Amino acid sequence: MTKVLITGAGIAGPAAAIALHKAGIRAEIAEARAPEADAGAFLTLTANGIDALQAVDAAQPVLDASFPATRMRVFDPEGKLLADSPLGRDHPCPRTITRTALSQALRQEAARRGIPVRYATRLTTAAAAPGRGVTAAFADGSQAQADLLIGADGIRSPVRTLISPAAPSPRYTGLMIACGYADDGPPAAETGAYDMCYGTRGFFGYTTAPDTRNWWFARIPAPELTPAEAAAPPATWRQRLAAAFSDDRTPAATLIQATSHITVTSAYDIPTLPNWHNGSMIVIGDAAHAASPSTTQGASMALEDSVALAQCLRDIPAIPDALGHFEHLRRDRAERVVQSGAGVENPVPPGPGSPPRRGNPPGWLYSHHIDWNSRTRDTDGSRPTC
């Protein structure tokens, strides 16, 4: 029976373990961080991400830990309303959730299905031997043996470098992303709705959570942050970010001032890799195709990957063939998403007659559906069918 080792218990890792379990494949997870570590930002999961979870009967815990984004209003820097649209007409509403809560919900679901997760266990290296699978080594001195190593280890993935030592490093997108939870300030149109505000120096969006706090993010074109800048005290960031929105007649500066803890990061992406796998190791999620946070797709794409990979391993007996087929299925879609978020958005709204901006994701993105019962190959094993 195939045994799979997964490194990373963020989003792709536990989701892949859950999907493999449903496929009857044994998996265990090694995660570098402690179970209670905070993953910072909040995110939206779109219909395609929820669909992937539904395929493996794992959507409910995530729905329970999130709230629906019901409506979106867009404002210009003067505070003038540019658009007001309900969400969830063509596809189910996106769900808003913290990264930590999403990861925890998936890890708890994995634990409920009996999947072992080892925490504080950082992969340092791995080597494949013909006929003997992969031996992985960890910083605590332990080792693990498996038929397949799945690197669900994020944008700085060590497994990506093991597969392709010449793989490109993550690319800075030119955007600084900040986020926080304001105890005060004007609420959005309704609970769960997003108010999106163009500003003269950056873009600001927020939603009012069921607990009445305002969850906000800001995207500001800026040089790449040094680690010391990113770790500056909250008061420094409050001042700097509020100043960036001080000329705008939107609630941005007020909400920033009402926030005690602010997370700030530079945004990176990975447009393409030479290989996603080498026959016994593979990368999925951000490790393979990190997209700028402005796509709001990284987590959903990680969930799609996780389920699709389990289906390939379920249906195609030879592991290298299954990995090759998975990459064939997923690469174009994933790289198209990364491409859609490349470059820096102009914070100023489009004027009359300007070409439409990227913004409303087309149907190809949200309507992606995974049918768990469909086979990834015809029964004669020769022809891919999806």
Ligand X SMILES: Cc1cc2nc3c(=O)[nH]c(=O)nc-3n(C[C@H](O)[C@H](O)[C@H](O)COP(=O)(O)OP(=O)(O)OC[C@H]3O[C@@H](n4cnc5c(N)ncnc54)[C@H](O)[C@@H]3O)c2cc1C
Q: According to CB under 6 A, which one of 222, 299, 309, 312 is a site residue for ligand X?
A: 299
One-character DSSP codes across 62-74: HHHT-EE--EEEE
How far apart (Å, rounded) are the C-alpha atoms in residues 385 and 173? 36
Q: According to CB under 6 A, which one of 13, 61, 185, 205 is a site residue for ligand X?
A: 13
Site size toward ligand X (CB under 6 A) is 34
3 or 375: whose CB is closer to ligand X?
Answer: 3
Q: According to CB under 6 A, which one of 56, 126, 177, 307 is a site residue for ligand X?
A: 177
66 or 315: whose CB is closer to ligand X?
Answer: 66
Q: According to CB under 6 A, which one of 4, 5, 6, 8 is a site residue for ligand X?
A: 8
Q: According to CB under 6 A, which one of 5, 302, 309, 310 is a site residue for ligand X?
A: 302
Strands (E), the chain: 3-7, 26-30, 42-45, 67-68, 71-75, 81-86, 95-98, 117-118, 123-129, 133-138, 143-146, 148-151, 171-182, 194-198, 203-208, 214-221, 262-269, 281-283
31 or 248: whose CB is closer to ligand X?
Answer: 31
Q: Give the closest residue to 97 by CA, choosing from 69, 65, 64.
A: 65
Burial string for 285-308 (b: 16+ CB within 10 Å, else e) reads bbbbbbbbbbbbbbbbbbbbbbbb
How far apart (Å, rounded) are the C-alpha atoms in residues 357 and 363? 16
Q: According to CB under 6 A, which one of 76, 109, 153, 304 is a site residue for ligand X?
A: 153
∠298-276-149 over CA atoms, to 5°? 95
Binding mask 38-77 for ligand X (x = CB under 6 A): ---x-xx---------------------------------
One-character DSSP codes across 103-147: HHHHHHHHHHTT--EE-S--EEEEEEETTTEEEEEETTS-EEEES
Query: CB of 313: closest distance to ligand X in angstroms?
Result: 18
Binding mask 92-121 for ligand X (x = CB under 6 A): -------x----------------------
66 or 280: whose CB is closer to ligand X?
Answer: 66
Q: What is the CA radius of gyration of the chain?
A: 21
Q: Which of residues 190-249 bind ligand X (CB under 6 A)?
A: none
Is residue 44 packed enough to be buried (19+ CB in 10 Å), middle (13-18) or exposed (0-12)? buried
Q: According to CB under 6 A, which one of 133, 170, 293, 324 is a site residue for ligand X?
A: 293
Query: CB of 56: closest distance to ligand X in angstroms?
Result: 15
Segment lying near ligand X (by CB under 6 A), choices 225-233, 291-299, 358-366, 373-381: 291-299
Query: CB of 200: closest distance to ligand X in angstroms?
Result: 22
49 or 199: whose CB is closer to ligand X?
Answer: 49
Q: Does position 331 bind ligand X by CB under 6 A? A: no
202 or 315: whose CB is closer to ligand X?
Answer: 202
What are the beta bridge partners of residue 219?
Answer: 177, 203
Contact status, residue 84 vs residue 335, Cβ threshold 8 Å: no
Provide the binding-site residues for ligand X, judged by CB under 6 A.
7-13, 30-33, 41, 43-44, 99, 122-123, 152-154, 158, 177, 179, 265, 285-287, 293, 296-300, 302
